[in-house]
Amino acid sequence: MAVDSLDLSADVVTLARELCDIPSVSGDETRLADAVEAALRGYPHLEVLRDGDAVLARTRLNRARRVVVAGHLDTVPVTDNLPTRLEDDVLWGRGTVDMKAGVAVQLSLAAALDAPVHDVTWVFYDHEEVDAALNGLGRVARNHPDWLAGDFAVLCEPTAGGIEGGCNGTLRAEVRLHGVAAHSARAWTGVNAVHAAGEVLRRLGAYAPATLDVEGLTYREGLNAVLIAGGRATNVIPDECVVTVNYRFAPSRSVEEATAHVREVLAGYDVVVVDAAPGARPGLDDPLAQDFAAAVLAVTGGAPAAKQGWTDVARFSSLGVPAVNFGPGDPLLAHTRDERCPVDQIVRSRAALAAWLSGARPEDLPLGLS
Amino acid sequence: MAVDSLDLSADVVTLARELCDIPSVSGDETRLADAVEAALRGYPHLEVLRDGDAVLARTRLNRARRVVVAGHLDTVPVTDNLPTRLEDDVLWGRGTVDMKAGVAVQLSLAAALDAPVHDVTWVFYDHEEVDAALNGLGRVARNHPDWLAGDFAVLCEPTAGGIEGGCNGTLRAEVRLHGVAAHSARAWTGVNAVHAAGEVLRRLGAYAPATLDVEGLTYREGLNAVLIAGGRATNVIPDECVVTVNYRFAPSRSVEEATAHVREVLAGYDVVVVDAAPGARPGLDDPLAQDFAAAVLAVTGGAPAAKQGWTDVARFSSLGVPAVNFGPGDPLLAHTRDERCPVDQIVRSRAALAAWLSGARPEDLPLGLS
């Protein structure tokens, strides 16, 4: 099958439509990845790399610093919402939000910026919408960690044109309460493990979660029971009860610190950590990132905010690269049948990234809005 | 198939062996019920009745008072522990404890006592060891409640020759805690239903159960969480948690009083009673019952104690008949592969019942012990 031709020099909204109209549901990204790779190979200022259906293109200008700008090529399944349609300056269809408008911004700038002020690595990856074990960015990080090296990363996930920085870490632990089973008609011969969970729940209910400022963004923590199970039968005094707790912790804490904190709150109990993932620093204290935030504020009006949930930015953080989310589209419309993105957000997102990477003052750049 | 022949005039231990050696696992009682019915029909002082595999035999002497003496014919499955064997004055095998030694005592006395001082209804029933809905005593109570009429009942379940009187009632209720689901990364937008269960468990843990004297016996109550379940997933703030509580209450309380008590302890919570069964009065304040207790004390040395768990005596109580458990065999050996009963307990249990029902002073009766 011939490779689809993509014109990266077209206006960014046209490019976004072309990308959306090549379906690429997770697992079927090859056609789109081939088109992206072929288009990027037309630009001699870019070195193009490929791993599976992930495509990377990078400048090699020996700039002092390198920025990674990443986006995923796959979408959730199409639900009768393709091909795209443009209506009253809104682009409708699968992928317009999550996240081919963002990919269009990346490709458009990868082609246009042959002399950015920072070296740039453009990353286009597969399998983001499915099981984390399949994630293309994770695979590249394992196979070629050097490909993702950089001083700062931008993930072009939809944020409606604002910056959402870093993310909280997450830790899950099981608190096991032990008792002695007995017939409930002779309860005094047993020890009730479910009653023992009362104090654990009391501590969790009384816990005042911290709000931490990390590199200019505000992260709200939380420590919650998410599951509880205990008891064997309605005539038996329970000999075991398990409370599963989930601690969401600011990216300024390590997993070890988070573990110690949970153990301290639940001191005296049998606490076993079952999984944990560190958060991601936003890195917004870096002048490079501050320039980006200034460009975004000037062009889209979006002030930086903390990302509370765990996202792929944490994959960059685990490689030592601070990262933020930034892209066109309302994240609440992602995955919906009515997925749609205002043209203005696509254009302004491109303009903000362009201003930052070209070193221009945002106000000096034409937005290209009619 | 010919009906097995049982010699009710044989010594009680021989009769117990014969009964055990006719297997009658729950659901397969017909062969034994037929043998019991045929044997009883040989005694003109008895009127014999039958409902399914339940057999009743009663005297009609127009005594002032009537006593019901009941036992079940079925056993749990045989586990290579039949036929019975007699070894050092201990009878081994399935049913020796639960409860064919007791049935042998009943049948032996039903035949021997043609002029008891109280009218007696001897009840032999099926399906005790399985689902309560199948219980033969319950079926007779539904089909022919008049067959079970009496002033006092003795259930010949194993008590090692002591009297265990009445039983506690039991009530189960579900306490539902309600919350608002949210992603656990944004816990402050939800309300945690599992945390809300903490106060319920605290109250249950702090609850001091009552000990009540009812007609001379001491009943220990209990109010316990027996099950707890809450939460949907490890990244979701739970919007529901259900605590199942079991209240075991003295037979002096009605189900309505027990319900009100649980609602009072858990005031402010959503409490739904899911099932309840009243306890059974022991009726040991009745002179008739006191005579029985005196006979048992004299012959077996067993002083009356309260039965804490719910048993079939409650079926008599629900018909207005106070009831106690009394029979040979250690209840802890019931259902075990090593089920066994000392011959002495069988003989003494028969002697105590015989003394009571014949109006003799226990010390005047020959035990028949070698």
User: Best residue in A186, A227, A262 to probe B by mutation, most B CBs within 10 Å?
Assistant: A227
Dihedral sign for Cα atoms in the order A292, A293, A298, A301: positive
Q: Are B287 and B358 in the same domain? A: yes
pLDDT of residue B227 exceeding 90: yes
Query: Which residues 135-194 of B have a C-beta within 8 angstroms of A?
Result: 168, 170, 172, 183-188, 192, 194
Identify the CATH number of the domain in which residue A53 sits: 3.40.630.10
In which residue are the tokens 């910026």 written? A113
Q: Which two tokens stand for residue A252?
A: 């300024």
B230-252 pLDDT tens trace: 998 888 899 999 999 999 999 99
A102-157 pLDDT tens trace: 999 999 999 999 999 999 999 999 999 888 889 999 999 999 999 999 999 999 99
Query: Strand, coil or helix: what is B17?
Result: helix
Residue A102 domain flag: yes
A33-59 pLDDT tens trace: 999 999 999 999 999 999 999 999 999
DSSP category for residue B27: T
Query: Strand, coil or helix: what is B103?
Result: helix
pLDDT of residue A15 exceeding 50: yes
Closest by Cβ to A172, choosing from B200, B228, B234: B234
As for how many domains chain B has, the answer is 2
In which residue are the tokens 């996930």 written? A157
Cα Rg of chain A (Å, integer): 24
Q: What's the pLDDT at A1?
A: 67
Q: Are B252 and B351 in the same domain? A: no
Cβ(A76)–Cβ(A335) under 8 Å? Answer: yes
Closest by Cβ to B229, choosing from A226, A228, A236: A228
Q: Does B199 touch chain A (CB under 8 A)?
A: yes
Boundary of a domain, candidates A277, A298, A318: A277
Alpha carbon distance B91, B294 (integer Å): 27
A212-257 pLDDT tens trace: 999 889 999 999 999 999 998 888 899 999 999 999 999 999 999 9
Q: Are B288 and B160 in the same domain? A: yes
State percent of chain B over pLDDT 70. 97
Q: Which residues of A touch B183 (CB under 8 A)?
A: 309
Q: ∠ at Cα A32 (A14, A20), nearest 5°?
A: 35
pLDDT of residue A366 exceeding 60: no
Q: What's the pLDDT at A369?
A: 40
User: Best residue in A228, A232, A269, A311 to probe B by mutation, most B CBs within 10 Å?
Assistant: A228
B69-106 pLDDT tens trace: 999 999 999 989 999 999 999 999 999 999 999 999 99
Boundary of a domain, candidates B246, B277, B308: B277
Residue A369 domain flag: no
Alpha carbon distance A366, B12 (integer Å): 110
pLDDT of residue A363 exceeding 70: no
Range ranked top by mean pLDDT from A279-283, B15-19, B229-233, B273-277: B15-19
Residue B7 domain flag: no
Name the residue range of residue B75's domain. Answer: 12-167+280-364
Confidence of residue A73 (pLDDT cuts 50, 70, 90): very high
Q: Which residues of B touch A225 (CB under 8 A)?
A: 192, 194-195, 230-231, 238
Summarize the confidence of residues B134-150 as an average pLDDT: 96
Cβ(B109)–Cβ(B354) under 8 Å? Answer: yes
Task: Tell me the H-state helices in chain B.
Answer: 12-20, 30-40, 100-112, 136-143, 193-206, 255-265, 287-300, 313-318, 343-358
Q: Does B361 touch chain A (CB under 8 A)?
A: no
Q: Which residues of A touch B184 (CB under 8 A)?
A: 170, 222, 224, 226, 246, 248
A286-330 pLDDT tens trace: 889 899 999 999 888 888 998 877 788 889 988 989 989 999 999
Q: Is B74 a catalytic residue?
A: yes
Q: Are B70 and B204 in the same domain? A: no
Characterise A27 by phi-psi region: left (phi > 0), alpha (psi -120 to 50), beta (else). Answer: left
pLDDT of residue B118 exceeding 90: yes
Q: Are A211 and A288 in the same domain? A: no
Q: Are A61 and A114 in the same domain? A: yes
Alpha carbon distance B36, B31 (integer Å): 9
Q: Which residues of A touch B226 (CB under 8 A)?
A: 184, 194, 231, 233-238
Q: What's the pLDDT at B158?
A: 93
Q: Are A271 and A296 in the same domain? A: no
Q: Which two tokens stand for residue B261?
A: 């008590």
Q: Does B220 touch chain A (CB under 8 A)?
A: yes
Q: Are A59 and A163 in the same domain? A: yes
Q: Are B290 and B308 in the same domain? A: yes
Alpha carbon distance A352, A362 (integer Å): 7
pLDDT of residue A2 exceeding 90: no
pLDDT of residue B131 exceeding 70: yes
Q: Are strands B152-155 and B66-72 parallel, antiparallel or unpaired?
A: parallel
Boundary of a domain, candidates A277, A297, A316: A277
Alpha carbon distance A49, A123 (integer Å): 9
In Å, how far is A248's CA from the nearest CA of chain B? 6
Residue B4 domain flag: no
Q: Which two tokens stand for residue A179?
A: 């008792």
Cα dist. B354→A178, B96, B124, B138, B299 in Å? 49, 20, 18, 27, 10
Q: Are B285 and B329 in the same domain? A: yes
Closest by Cβ to B201, choosing from A183, A184, A201: A201
